[in-house]
Chains A and B, each alone.
Chain A
Amino acid sequence: MNYYIVTSEVFDELDKKLIEFAHSSVDGSEWTVTTTELIDNETLSFENTLEISLYTAEEGSFWTGDNTGIEEWELDGIKYLNGI
């Protein structure tokens, strides 16, 4: 699995069938993504779900409306479903 932060433009081009988790920033400009797809135009990449969770917690208000960021269990438990 690969763990990325990408812009909305890059997200639009990703293969949605390969995405396990996706969460947009509050303003919609960036996405946190876990996917089996390998990409080379990401904004940031991470080693695991814990690292990506800690990063979003540091910028909590950018990622969530309650300022808390994305918890690690969400990255494993909230399945991305294309279209819904």
Chain B
Amino acid sequence: MANVLSHINGVESSRIRSVNTVQIANIDNVIGMEYNEPSASFDNANAVAKSITTGTGQSVRIADTNGKFNFIHSSAYTISFWVKAGWNSSLNTNIHLFSSTTSGTTNSSANMIRIFYHESNNRLYFEYRSASNAKKSNFYLFHANSGNHAAAYAAAGLGSSQYWSSANRGNANSAGYTMITVTKGTSNSAGSSNAPMYWNATPLGNGHYGSNGTGQGTPNMSTADRQIAIGSNSWSYAKSGNSAETKYNDVTIWDKKLSQSEITELYNSGTPLDATAHSASSNLKMYYKMENNGNDSSGNSAPNIVLSGNSNFESK
């Protein structure tokens, strides 16, 4: 292990640009002491809080106009985000955590890709559609420790008597966040063999409909530009929870089906990391750190997040 040069004449090395006109990054050692370039800083103090009020005027959304999010039924991709439940056990409906549909549409089936939690039944769904009769889905049930549901029961840690809510966040990090991930391969299927889901990088198993999932017809999506909503659906900007705002952080979208080890790396033992330093960062297409702005940090010039109404960036 090399020694790290932390100070030069009492000044922190991170504050020094050069020594005698030599850039600090080019200095390997001073009087035999090796110098390591300080890691790029990664602030993770904030998140976005989605207003529980519905409608476009309260949304957290991304209007993709440059084809950064144009995944179709045969695309491989990964969607991952951290979520801190704000809803309570009286929600008695679903909350959309991530949703995308064709730009400008109010049609819930138009090139739709979504991840939603159905509080009424304690189920986490992944679904995509090209039409109301052309859709694929699977869901993961959290309160039954048996059969296809046992893996999700163990991964989430919500227990058998209470559903997922702000009073029962299950396995979460010290700030109350859970990393939810779906990774899809190129097959036209939402089953667990092609599109597994993860809770804090732990696989949720086969899901109710198993390795092949379920569906109707054969989705045939187009590459049309999409509108993406965080914390609501993307066609009416409803289904945002109740009681208190749900918070979202570090949303990443990748153009490959991340492997188990890559998802574990992203989870980083519960401490969000800078995804641009991830080993698969060349596949990172969109990245939203939510550090008091909606800027994309992927380096791909993806569109920014736009907040409306009472949705806001705040302390995580």
Contact surface of A with B, Cβ cutoff 8 Å: 23-24, 26, 63-68, 70-71, 73-74, 76-78, 81, 84
Cβ-defined contact, B242 with A65, below 8 A:
yes
Residue in B149, B240, B242, B243 with the greatest tally of chain A CB atoms within 10 Å:
B242
CB distance from A61 to the nearest CB of B (A): 10
Contact A84 B144 (CB under 8 A): yes
A23-B120, A73-B132 are known contacts. Are A65 and B239 too (CB-CB below 8 A)?
no
Q: Does B121 lie within 8 Å of A78, measured CB to CB?
A: yes
Pairwise interchain contact B108-A71, C-beta atoms closer than 8 A: yes
- B-side residues, CB < 8 A to A, are 52, 54, 87-88, 90-95, 108-109, 118-121, 127, 132, 135, 137, 141, 143-144, 149, 208, 238-243
What is the number of contacts between chain A and chain B, taking CB atoms within 8 Å?
Answer: 59
Please indicate the chain A residues that have their CB under 8 angstroms from the CB of B121 in the complex: 78, 81, 84
A70 with B137, Cβ < 8 A, contacts A76-B132, A78-B118, A78-B121 known: no
User: By the criterion CB–CB under 8 Å, are B118 and A66 in contact?
Assistant: no
- B interface SS class: loop
On chain A, the residues within 8 Å of B52 by CB distance are: 66
A66 touches which one: B91, B108, B144, B208 (CB < 8 A)?
Answer: B91
B240 touches A66 (CB 8 A): yes
Question: Are B92 and A26 in contact (CB-based, < 8 A)?
Answer: yes
Q: Do residues B141 and A84 form an inter-chain contact, with CB atoms below 8 A? A: yes
20 new A-B contacts at CB < 8 Å, known A63-B92, A65-B243, A71-B108: A63-B93, A64-B91, A64-B92, A65-B87, A65-B242, A66-B52, A66-B54, A66-B93, A66-B240, A66-B241, A68-B54, A68-B93, A68-B239, A71-B239, A73-B108, A78-B118, A78-B120, A81-B121, A84-B121, A84-B144
Question: Complex Cα distance A41/B17, Å?
Answer: 81
A65 cross-chain contacts in B, Cβ below 8 A: 87-88, 90-93, 119, 242-243
A43→B126 CA distance, assembly (Å): 34
Query: Which partner residue on chain B sits nearest A56 by CB separation?
Result: B93
Determine the residue in chain B with the shortest Cβ distance to A68: B238
